[in-house]
Structure 1
């Protein structure tokens, strides 16, 4: 039986601009994706209890590489490029989209996608695109409605239910789970850890080459 994964042991592994420069495609990994202001790096830092692990910036679009963090010999977290706000050319954005699509659709060790959305602005165009990519690959998706501390429990719950309804109406409910989350208050952290433990459990028993 696999041991419980300690996210506190996460260490930076490598940054890669494309699929071909990623670490060897074995073991298991979970990727974090989201718009540039969704709080992706903050969520990873909260999960690992390391405020300096994933780079955070007040300038949206700074994360332009696939950043890998090792949890064990065969388990990794991946911080994908933020999308939606980077002030770059359309050609470069198109290139980023291509790299993201290749990673999501071809990476065999990818076991799940955590898609972060600001609870005040959920299900934007790029969020739907990420959901479609994941569903086409039959990839489990866990939605984090971040910055939930901006609302009281009741309004936050209402938004969560609204997002669930919109996903269901669009036919995107299979393999998708959802929760509210706050990196600031550390609310929802235990639920997120549980999802990741399930996705990554098999990775600890992966054979070496």
Structure 2
């Protein structure tokens, strides 16, 4: 899909602030600093619509990005960042859970993990959460450009095993530097848009 128009519509913390209407939504989940903003920017061919922060744990709201007036990317707060207080983390957790379990236009979640490292406990918990609530999921292993091509399959196998990815759930290699995996990610998203 070629994105010709993209804008951030609202940063929401509660359901009454979510955009109205029935446009399909795709949530982007992942730990702080995993490259969610870089993923968004690469997918929509913009340098900095999604701001990349030098401080992990900066996104504290659900950020709704309207693309081509056809769909939303919803960037959710990154998890697993130690410098955030427990009560703040609990509040984010509740906000994310409410959104993901109650939101009708949500079609699928893109779970972003770092290909260079085995998935964290938080990554595993998020994947299990999505499976528990029967939410379709695409796992994107990003930062592929930081690993020699010959080692990609080995790293993907570690990711697949740690998350215990179910048959039918897609796992794709991605690089926001080179654009690797972008077409595959869009294919997944467009398939779910019409479901």
TM above 0.5, yes or no, is yes
CA positional deviation for 1:26 = 2.1
Q: Paired residue for 1:14?
A: 10
Contact preservation (8 Å) 2:26, 2:108: yes
Superposition pairs of residues 41-60 of structure 1, within 5 angstroms: 41-60=37-56
Unaligned 5+ runs, structure 1: 203-209
Query: Distance in 1 between the 2:141 and 2:57 partners?
Result: 19
Q: Paired residue for 1:162?
A: 158
Superposition pairs of residues 23-102 of structure 1, within 5 angstroms: 23-24=19-20, 26-85=22-81, 87-102=83-98
CA positional deviation for 1:118 = 1.0
Contact preservation (8 Å) 2:124, 2:163: no
SS of residue in 2 equivalent to 1:7: coil
CA positional deviation for 1:161 = 2.0
CA positional deviation for 1:175 = 4.6
Contact preservation (8 Å) 1:105, 1:133: no
Aligned residues: 195
Does 175-184 or 72-81 show the bigger shift? 72-81
Does 38-47 or 159-168 show the bigger shift? 159-168
Question: Cα deviations across residues 19-72 of structure 1 (Å, max 9, x unaligned)?
Answer: 332112623110111111110000000000011211111110111110001124
Cα RMSD after superposing both structures: 1.7
Contact preservation (8 Å) 1:29, 1:78: yes
SS of residue in 1 equivalent to 2:194: helix
Pick aligned residue for 1:105 from 69, 76, 101: 101
Q: Paired residue for 2:192?
A: 199
| TM-score, scaled to structure 2 | 0.92
| TM-score, scaled to structure 1 | 0.86
SS of residue in 2 equivalent to 1:114: strand
